[in-house]
Structures are given as C-alpha cells and as structure tokens.
Amino acid sequence: MIAPSRQRLQVDERRTQLLDLAIQLFGGRSYEDISIDEFAKKGGISKGLLYHYFPSKRALYVAAVGRAAEQLLEKTHVDGGGASASSLETVRRGLDAYLAYVEEHAAAYAFLLRSGIGSDAEVAGLVEATRDAFAKRIGAGLGLTEHDAEGRILVRGWVGFVEATSLAWAESPSGITRERLAELILGAFAAGVQLVKHK
C-alpha cells in the first residue's frame, strides 16, 4: 500500500473544512443571501483558490448537501446485531443513532432536510437517495420484500414521521430529552409495525 501524500491529505482536509463551513452558513441563511465573496472571506481563502476546490457556488452547495447526507448515513449505521436481535430492537438502535446525530448536528440536519428539494434535480436526488437508504434499512429490519406495496408506503411514512419530529425537535427542543423523543417515536412505530405484519 502506498500512503497518500501529505499534500493530498491537506487538500482533503481543507475541502472538508470548507464543506462544513458551507453547511453552517447555508443552514442558517438562504442560498441567494450568501455570495462567493462572503464565503471566501469567512473561510479565510482567496476566491481563486476556492474556485480550485469548487468551480461554482452551486457546486459548493451540492457538495455540502452531499457531505451532510453522507455523514448522516454513516453515523446512523448499525449492524443487525446477529440472529438474536429482534427487528424492533435493530430499529430502536438505528433510531438512537439517528437522534444522536440530530442532537449533535442540528444545523447540518436542518440544512439537509431544507436543502431545496425539487428546484434542483441533483440536490433532490441526494435527499431522495438518503430517504431511500433509510426506507431500505427499516424495510430490511422488518423483513419486508420489494413486492409488499403497503409495507413500502408505510415505511416511507415512517421515514417522513421521523424526519418531521426530528426537525421540529432540532429547531425547538422545548426541554424534551433525546431519550424521551426516542420513546415517543418508538411507541408510535411499534403500533405501525403491528399494522405491517398483521395486515
């Protein structure tokens, strides 16, 4: 194995720093409101060098959405726990990891979910791919097949439910702990699981 050069590592690190800054800035204000000039200034980088990393403002924005989506999926990955773990237990562990991410990265989470679905096909694709990945994880946890149309629709509903509660909580926690939120979501989810299994 050949180790990556020190320069390569520095480039990757700088790129990641710039994306984290983009998530933070675009998360708080609108796309139109942030100019490349302001972004370069806040990032302590010349406009010329910034364009070396990202050829346009849109490219920077799309890459930031991509990073937020990737982080969310990575940090919420839990393995099935072996044959002994029940499907609901796997879902519970995934939910705990998901809410931990929301708690620690509230701004990035809100940025991802409000990132401009539909008006930009590439951004919409990233957000939809993230939803599909969660729907597949949950569907696999419940043992649903591709052909189960009702199960598929309900699982999409659960992804929407978790997103909406998580976003409301990220934007205004109102003294509700992460553990309590997980309890509320799982209580509602458990009833839904019964519906899918005994329909």
- Give the nearest distance from C-beta 90 to a copy of itself in angstroms: 20
Cβ nearer to a copy of itself, comparing 45 with 108: 108
- Give the nearest distance from C-beta 31 to a copy of itself in angstroms: 5
Binding site for a copy of itself (CB under 8 A): 30-32, 111, 113-121, 123-124, 149-150, 152-154, 156-165, 167-169, 174-176, 180-181, 184-185, 187-188, 190-192, 195, 199
Cβ nearer to a copy of itself, comparing 50 with 154: 154
The three-state DSSP-derived secondary structure of 1-34 is: CCCCCHHHHHHHHHHHHHHHHHHHHHHHCCCCCC
Cβ nearer to a copy of itself, comparing 101 with 111: 111
> CA-to-CA distance for 131 and 22, rounded, in angstroms?
22
Cα of first residue to Cα of last residue in the chain, in angstroms, is 53
CB 117 within 8 A of CB 123: yes
Other beta carbons less than 10 A from residue 193's beta carbon: 18
> CA-to-CA distance for 38 and 114, rounded, in angstroms?
22
> Quick one: residue 141, left, alpha or beta (phi over 0 = left, psi -120 to 50 = alpha)?
alpha
- Give the nearest distance from C-beta 120 to a copy of itself in angstroms: 7
- Give the nearest distance from C-beta 51 to a copy of itself in angstroms: 21
> CA-to-CA distance for 113 and 79, rounded, in angstroms?
25
- Give the nearest distance from C-beta 20 to a copy of itself in angstroms: 18
Cβ nearer to a copy of itself, comparing 1 with 191: 191
Rg, C-alpha atoms of the chain: 19
Cβ nearer to a copy of itself, comparing 100 with 167: 167
- Give the nearest distance from C-beta 91 to a copy of itself in angstroms: 15
Cβ nearer to a copy of itself, comparing 12 with 33: 33
Residue 103's Cβ-count burial label (10 Å; 0-12, 13-18, 19+) is middle
CB 107 within 8 A of CB 64: no
